[in-house]
Structure 1
Amino acid sequence: MSHLQNSNLFDIKGLVAVVTGGGSDTPSLVVPSVRKYPTRFYIYPQTGPPKSSSSAVVNSGTLGPLARIPGDNNNNNNNNNNNNPDGPKPSISAVRDALWSVPMADFSRVFEVNASGAYYTVIAFLTLLDAANKRRARPEHNRLATPVAQVVVVSSIAGFMRRVPLSFAYSLSKAAANHLVKVLATALAPYLIRVNGIAPGLFYSELSSNDFSPGECAVSDGSFPPQQIPITRAGGEEDIAGLLLWMAGASGGYLNGNITVLDGGRLGVAPSAY
């Protein structure tokens, strides 16, 4: 029964991983979660000075083998036009003017980052993912083989929500990213390349910092009202670490075309299409 021990179910020893979002604070969430494992990480893209949190990850000296790959995807323009359902109702002309004020180029740029960027990043690594499959150990009869290569796309619950938490462009681009997981999983199935997704709810990041008090990560119970997040807190490092280890290890080897919502129940109390 040793194959059911935690050390085997969630073991990612020897894994080679590329963590995208190097121009944002994504690596600060992902890499520290698994830093104790002898795993090789590459952060992509990295053009110019990294964000402070990513820089801290890269320069910590505690993560083992880690490198940055140059790239050109360093844009965080999400057209932040908050829609407050509890505020006064604006006139339809005011709504039209606010939405029309977003230049089409800016709107499209959000899709370039969140949808097109994810798509072309996956395509760029297809031959390496195939090479990883070819390096797998030969299967043994009645023994679980090493999982085949996998892509994990991080989107957002905004892609499922019918309210607009940040902007229309952001929500629509995340919905596109969610569907990208499905169509790529089907397209790449004949090549034994799996595609899965994570749709996080509220975690502290540069993008969500306005929802947090200064110096607070809001992971303690009671940090948010249950009407907003039933578990009443934001997501923490433990939440994302456990999910990543499950998906990347032997325990997640049967996943394909799956999007895991990690939101503390937020979609359950908001109008959504999930």
Structure 2
Amino acid sequence: MKKFENKIAVVTGGNSGMGHGTAKVLKEMGATVIITGRRKEAIEKAAQELGVTAILSDQANLKDIDNLVSEVTEKFGKIDILYINAGISATASIELETPENFDKINNINYRGVFFTLSKFIPHLNDGASVIIFSSVLASTVSPGLSVYSASKAAVNSIVKTAALELASRKIRVNSISPGAIDTELFSKMGMDDEALNGMTDYLIGLTPLGRIGKPKEIGQLVAFISSDEASFITGSDHVIDGGATLL
């Protein structure tokens, strides 16, 4: 019997990157997996590749979150693993930041995370695992990423409060904070191939283990935190960065 057989797992932002890698791992371990995303073609393609269910949903849209919760619970019942992974980033100095970009980032990374968790809580099985995607930038400083960093610091605060509020139901709430992972994030930020390769080399140089991480490694961490072996872990942030924050 696979570890997550008969378990229902929801992965937001599961059409690419770390969400895709996590959905693949959970599926391989026997879970029934539902992935979400904002782009219909991308989410349907990913679902076909992975053999999972796709639901079109924008984490920045509260109506979409309501529809997601309704569709998941009507088709699958209560949830055992909730990985709130969807998020965006963009660079700008504090001086040049715009209200529009500030709202765009926070509507997905903070407000969307908060209400995805809030609206799923009544539909979580007792003993469920909730994992929220954070970042090492929640506790480190990088010029040009003040809004993104603040949104992730807010996530870490939500995790601790939720862990206390849900402890009586044995629901564990944790976050993971990746460093440099091999995803589409930088290309989505508008970098061309030359800039992307330069950024990758730069990040490798900042990582003591001498490489950047893989989406599958995020999935393996999510799977461990969601397993019975981690049943005494809650309210914690789990850094997975190859040692970069040690420097």
Query: Structure 1 length as normaliser, TM-score?
Result: 0.69
Structure 1 position 262, deviation (Å)? 0.3
Whose strand proportion is higher, 1 or 2?
2
1:37 aligned to which of 10, 29, 44: 29
Structure 1 position 109, deviation (Å)? 2.3
Structure 1 position 23, deviation (Å)? 6.5
- How do 1:72-221 residues align onto structure 2 when only pairs under 5 Å count? 72-73=58-59, 78-81=89-92, 99-129=94-124, 132-133=125-126, 148-164=127-143, 167-209=145-187, 210=191, 212-213=196-197
Which amino acid is the alignment partner of residue 160 of structure 1?
S
**Deviations 1:209-245, CA, capped at 9 Å, x for gaps:** 457539xx88xxx9822xx111111012452233122
User: How high is the sequence identity, in percent, across the aligned residues?
Assistant: 24
> Could you list the runs of 5+ residues in structure 2 that have no partner in the other structure?
61-85
User: Is residue 2:233 matched to residue 1:255?
Assistant: yes
Larger radius of gyration: 1
User: Is residue 2:48 matched to residue 1:70?
Assistant: no
Change (3 A) 1:24 1:230: same
> Could you list the runs of 5+ residues in structure 1 that have no partner in the other structure?
1-6, 82-97, 134-147, 270-274
For the 8 Å contact 1:16–1:41, the answer to whether it is kept is: yes
Which amino acid is the alignment partner of residue 78 of structure 1?
S
Query: Structure 2 length as normaliser, TM-score?
Result: 0.76
User: Is residue 2:25 matched to residue 1:27?
Assistant: no
Change (3 A) 1:242 1:25: closer
Calculate the aligned-residue CA RMSD, in Å: 2.9
1-side partners of 2:88 and 2:223: how far apart? Answer: 31
Aligned residue in 2 for 1:91: none
For the 8 Å contact 1:32–1:57, the answer to whether it is kept is: no
2:204 aligned to which of 224, 232, 235: 224
Paired residues in the alignment total 216
Whose helix proportion is higher, 1 or 2?
2
Which amino acid is the alignment partner of residue 46 of structure 2?
V
1-side partners of 2:129 and 2:243: how far apart? Answer: 27
| Runs of 4 or more above 6 Å deviation | none
